[in-house]
Amino acid sequence: HHLQSRSSLERILDSMLDDEYRTCIASVSTARYLCENIEALPLSAQTRILDTNDYLMLLVPLVEEPPWTRRRSISSDGKNSVCWEKFVDNEWEKIDPADLLQITKCEAQPWLSIFHLTCSNTCREQYGLNSFRKSQLLRLRKYLNDMILDQLPVLAEVMRYMDQLVLMEAPESSTGQGKALLMQQVDVLREEVAKHRNWDQVARKQFQYIFSKVTDAKD
């Protein structure tokens, strides 16, 4: 009854949130592919991953507060119960509490990214490890248990790296260990076209003059 009483706007907003969530999930997989092949990327792309955007620091919260696992309260016959769900194959599936430590594809993506970023010689040489980054990475150590290692054996290398990290002295601040001067290609034409644009206004005009006139029959 509640679903039927919802307005069209509410349904559209829910659909937008759902699309945004699925896009974010896909971006984590894309990030994993980039980390896996980081040695083949240009130096400027490596710098963006390791320093500018600092993928490692972005991955820590994905392990601590996984967005692909949720707990829901269900009311039935006047009784409240709790169920766990995981996002599997683009759908939410109910999970038995005993199976919560079974790793899904979504859960494996950040761990595999962390493996490539901490165990690659290229990353170790270029990553500017400081005391803050060290403390953040060591927060993941407690999640590397036997159940996880049995499912993702490569994480044994990550655990070994973190054990070494405990003994390492990290400087208070570091901006990376790369070259002082980094030459980087810039898309001049794209920069000229994109700058000083009001993208909200562009989107409204496109909707008004293009997409509002397109129907499923005409698409």
Q: What is the mean pLDDT of each run of 10 residues along the chain (219 residues)?
A: 66 88 93 94 90 93 93 79 89 90 93 95 89 93 94 95 90 58 62 80 85 63
Instruction: Calculate ∠ Cα 47-62-135, nearest 5°.
Output: 65
pLDDT of residue 75: 75
Q: Is 63 within 8 Å of 143 (Cβ atoms)?
A: yes
Q: Is 51 within 8 Å of 175 (Cβ atoms)?
A: yes
pLDDT of residue 180: 43
pLDDT of residue 143: 94
* Contacts of 64 by beta carbon, 8 Å cutoff, 6+ apart: 139, 140, 143
pLDDT of residue 179: 45
